[in-house]
A and B are shown apart, each in its own frame.
Chain A
Amino acid sequence: MAQMSFRDALQQAMAEEMARDSRVFLMGEEVAEYDGAYKVSKGLLSRFGEKRVVDTPISEAGFAGLGVGAAMAGLRPIIEMMTWNFGIQAFDQIINHGAKMRYMSGGQFTMPLVFRAPNGSAHMLSSQHSQYVEGMLTNIPGLMVVCPSHPADGKGLLKSSIRSDNCIIFLESEMMYGDKGEVPEGEHIVPLGQARIAREGQDVTLVSWGKALRGVMRYLSSLEDELGLSVEVIDLRTLQPLDEQTIFTSIAKTHRMVIVEEGWGFASVGAEIAALVGCHSFDELDAPIERLASAFVPMPYNEHLEKEVLPSRQKLKVLLEKLTYQSRS
C-alpha cells in the first residue's frame, strides 16, 4: 500500500471518480489554474480540462447554488469552498435548497452534490477562520455530514460521498492535508454512516472525529500508560447519520464514556451523543459522561490563547482521571 498525504488521497478520490463518471466535475475558488488553495486539486485541470475543473469568482452562495441546480438537472458536482468559514456565506443554498429539494418536491429530485472544505481551527487564524460547522449542519435533515480523520478514510469516504445521491457536507482540515498514511490503490470505498474502532480498549469509550480524533490518538499513546487505562476510541467518520450502535456496543463493554470535539459544545454533535447515550445506555454507565470541547468563545489569535481554548492533552487527562475515579479532587 502506498504512503500518501491526506491531500493526495483526496485528489486521488476525485480523479478516480471523475474518470469513472463524466457527470462529476469540480468547481470552486482557485481549484483549477492555481491547483487548489491547499493543492488538493493539483493536476486535475490538466487531466480533465476546464469544463470539469472550474475556477469560480469569489461567490460562495452563487456557486453553491449553481451546484444545487446542476445536481437537480443530472450532474454530480463537487463544490470546494476554500474553508467552511467562507461556506457559511452559502448556508442559504445548502440549508434552504440543497437539503430540502428532494423532500419538498415529493422525491422527484435527487441531490448528488458534495460540498467539501477545511473545517475548524488551523493555527493562529483567529475568529473568522477557525469555526467548526458540524454542530450547525448535522442539525439539518437532508444533509449528510462526513469527517475523515486519516488519509485512507479521506479517500474512501470521499469516493462514497461522490457516488451518493445525497447532499454531502465533507469536512477536511488545513492541518491534516500533509498527514501521511497508507492508502489503498484504486477502488477503496468506505461506506457512509459507519463508525470505526480506531483503537480497542476495555476501561473507557472515547468518541471523537476528524482533527480532534487525531489529537486524541497522539495524547493516548502516552496517557494510557501514565494513567494505567485502556481506552477504546471510536472514530465516527460520519456525523449525520450517526452510527449509534457502535457507540452503544462499546459502552456496554467499558461502561464509561468521554466525548472529545474541537467545536463548541453547546447543542453540538457531542451534546447529541451524550443525550443519546444517557437515554439509551443509562444503566450501562458506571460514571457520568464526560465531555471535552472548545471554550465557548470566538477563537483568539494569540497562540497561547488559542491553545487555552482548544482541547488538550492535559484537559483530556483530567477528564479521564475523573471518569475513572483517579482524581484527587
Chain B
Amino acid sequence: MSLQASSKAPDDYQADFLISLLQDMIFYRRFEERVLVAYTKMKFAGFCHLHIGQEGLCVGVQRAIDPQDYVITGYRSHTQAIAKGIPARDVLAELFGKVSGCSRGKGGSMHMFSREKRFYGGHGIVGGQVPIAVGMAWKIHYNEENHVVVCYLGDGAINQGQVYEAMNMACIWQLPVLFIIENNLYGMGTHIGRTTSVGAKTLYKRALAFDMAHSQVNGQNVLDVYQQVNKLVKGMREAPGPHLLEALTYRYKGHSVSDPSLYRTKEEIQGYMNHDDPIKNLSDKLIQDKIASKDDIKQWDKKVKATLKTLEASVDKDMDPELSEAYEHVYS
C-alpha cells in the first residue's frame, strides 16, 4: 500500500505515482463503504457524512502539500483526516468511539483531529472552520513561516456570513490560505442553484467580492487537482496570499447516512458513477496507458478490502474511554 506516501510526482507522472493515487482513492472509497456497513450494523451512531464520490480531491491535494502544511475541513472529515496522515485505524477507532481514536472517542465522525499531523478538524458548524483557517494562516504570517493552510468548505458553507468575514481578512493581510470549495451541488437536500445567485457551478465567482485570486478544477480528475493545487501552493509559498479554488465534484451517498436522497434522480447519480467518477477516470487512463491491467486493479481492490477487514476486527477489540474521561479536557 502506498497510503500516506508523500512522494511528489515528477512532471511526467511516473507509473508508481499514478498507481499510488489510484490505490489511495480505492482505499478511501472502500473505507467509507465499510464505515457505512458498520453504521447500518449499529456498531456506532450519531451523524455520519461519507465522502464517497469525492475521493479525487483529497488525494490530489494531499500529494501537492507538505506534511508541515495545515488542513482543516467541515464535518465530512474521515478521508480528509487519513489523507493528512492520521492512520486509518485511528479514524475508524474514533468513529467507533474508542479511546484509541484520534480524538480519544470524544469527537466522533465530525471531529477528527491530529495536532501532530496538522489536521485541525473536523468541524460540525457549517462554515465555522473558515475563520479558524484564517487564524492558522495568521500564525504562519506572524511567525514568518513558509507553510500554507488548506481550508475545505462545502458549497452550502459559502452562504454563511462568517465565511466572507474570514475571506476578507485573508485578503487584506495576504495570508497563505487555499480555500477549496468542495462543490458537490447539494447543501444537504437543497441544490446549490437554488441558494446562490452566481450559478451552481461557478461558485468561484464569490471571490470577486474580495478581488481574490480564484480558479476552478474538475474534482473528479485527481491529476487535474494535483497539478493545479501543486501550482497554487508553490505560488503561495513564494508570494503569500489567499486563493479560492472551486472543485466540481459529486457525492453518491446522502448528505448523511440517514438521507435517502429523494431530492435527486437515480439517473443523475448513475450518470456521475458511469461517466465522471474519480476512480474510474484514473483506472481508465492507467489501463489505456498500459500502466495497469483490469486484473491489477481488481487485485489492489481485493487487498484493500482485506486490509480494512483486518483493521476493523482489530479496532473492535479496543477499549471505550474510562468514564473519568468524560470530565477531562474541559480546562487546562
Cβ-defined contact, A65 with B128, below 8 A? yes
Contacts of A93 in B (CB 8 A): 128, 131-132, 162
Q: Which of chain B's residues has its CB closest to A67's CB? A: B135
Taken together as a complex, chains A and B put the C-alpha atoms of A241 and B104 apart, in Å, by 25
Taken together as a complex, chains A and B put the C-alpha atoms of A71 and B122 apart, in Å, by 17
Asked whether A165 is an interface residue with its Cβ less than 8 Å from the other chain, the reply is: yes
Given that A25-B142, A66-B131 are contacting pairs, would A109 and B332 also be in contact in the complex, using a CB cutoff of 8 Å? no
The distance from the CB of B38 to the nearest CB of chain A, in whole angstroms, is 21
Given that A72-B135, A107-B329 are contacting pairs, would A65 and B166 also be in contact in the complex, using a CB cutoff of 8 Å? yes
The distance from the CB of B117 to the nearest CB of chain A, in whole angstroms, is 10
Cβ-defined contact, B162 with A104, below 8 A? no
The distance from the CB of A190 to the nearest CB of chain B, in whole angstroms, is 18
Q: Which of chain B's residues has its CB closest to A165's CB? A: B332
Which of A66, A72, A96 is in CB contact (< 8 Å) with B120? A72
Given that A57-B169, A72-B136 are contacting pairs, would A106 and B128 also be in contact in the complex, using a CB cutoff of 8 Å? no
Cβ-defined contact, A70 with B168, below 8 A? no
* Interface membership of chain B positions 105-129, coded 1 if the CB is closer than 8 angstroms to chain A and 0 otherwise: 1110001011110001111110010
Taken together as a complex, chains A and B put the C-alpha atoms of A209 and B331 apart, in Å, by 23
Cβ-defined contact, B123 with A97, below 8 A? yes
Asked whether B10 is an interface residue with its Cβ less than 8 Å from the other chain, the reply is: no
Contacts of A107 in B (CB 8 A): 104, 328-329
Interface centre among A75, A108, A166 (most CB of B within 10 A): A108
The distance from the CB of B76 to the nearest CB of chain A, in whole angstroms, is 16
Contacts of B138 in A (CB 8 A): 66, 69-70, 75
Contacts of A139 in B (CB 8 A): none
Cβ-defined contact, B165 with A104, below 8 A? no
Asked whether B48 is an interface residue with its Cβ less than 8 Å from the other chain, the reply is: no
Q: Which of chain A's residues has its CB closest to B161's CB? A: A61
Q: Which of chain B's residues has its CB closest to A71's CB? A: B135
Contacts of B101 in A (CB 8 A): 106
Taken together as a complex, chains A and B put the C-alpha atoms of A1 and B69 apart, in Å, by 49
Interface centre among A25, A72, A109 (most CB of B within 10 A): A72
Given that A75-B142, A105-B115 are contacting pairs, would A96 and B125 also be in contact in the complex, using a CB cutoff of 8 Å? yes
Interface centre among B116, B121, B125, B162 (most CB of A within 10 A): B162
Cβ-defined contact, B136 with A70, below 8 A? yes
Cβ-defined contact, B111 with A64, below 8 A? no
CB within 8 Å: A-B pair count: 146
Cβ-defined contact, A109 with B115, below 8 A? yes
Asked whether B323 is an interface residue with its Cβ less than 8 Å from the other chain, the reply is: no
Cβ-defined contact, B107 with A141, below 8 A? no
Cβ-defined contact, A106 with B113, below 8 A? yes
Contacts of B120 in A (CB 8 A): 69, 72-73
Cβ-defined contact, A104 with B106, below 8 A? yes
Cβ-defined contact, B330 with A103, below 8 A? yes
Taken together as a complex, chains A and B put the C-alpha atoms of A92 and B131 apart, in Å, by 11
Contacts of B115 in A (CB 8 A): 72, 105, 108-109
Asked whether B139 is an interface residue with its Cβ less than 8 Å from the other chain, the reply is: yes
The distance from the CB of B274 to the nearest CB of chain A, in whole angstroms, is 39
Cβ-defined contact, A104 with B134, below 8 A? no
Which of A56, A64, A106 is in CB contact (< 8 Å) with B106? A106
Taken together as a complex, chains A and B put the C-alpha atoms of A141 and B327 apart, in Å, by 11
Contacts of A109 in B (CB 8 A): 113, 115
Given that A68-B132, A69-B139, A70-B135 are contacting pairs, would A106 and B125 also be in contact in the complex, using a CB cutoff of 8 Å? no
**Beta-carbon contacts under 8 Å, B116-172 to A:** 116, 120-125, 128, 130-140, 142, 161-162, 164-166, 168-169, 172
Beyond A59-B168, A72-B120, A73-B135, 9 additional contacts (C-beta under 8 Å) are A65-B130, A66-B131, A69-B133, A97-B123, A97-B125, A101-B121, A105-B103, A105-B121, A107-B104
| 8 A-B pairs with least C-beta separation | A69-B135, A65-B131, A62-B165, A106-B104, A59-B165, A69-B132, A105-B113, A165-B332
Give 10 pairs: A residue, B residue, CB < 8 Å, sorted on A: A61-B131, A62-B162, A62-B168, A63-B165, A65-B134, A68-B132, A69-B134, A97-B128, A104-B113, A109-B113
Chain A residues packing against B (C-beta within 8 Å): 25, 51, 56-57, 59, 61-75, 77, 92-93, 96-97, 101-110, 141-142, 144, 164-166, 241
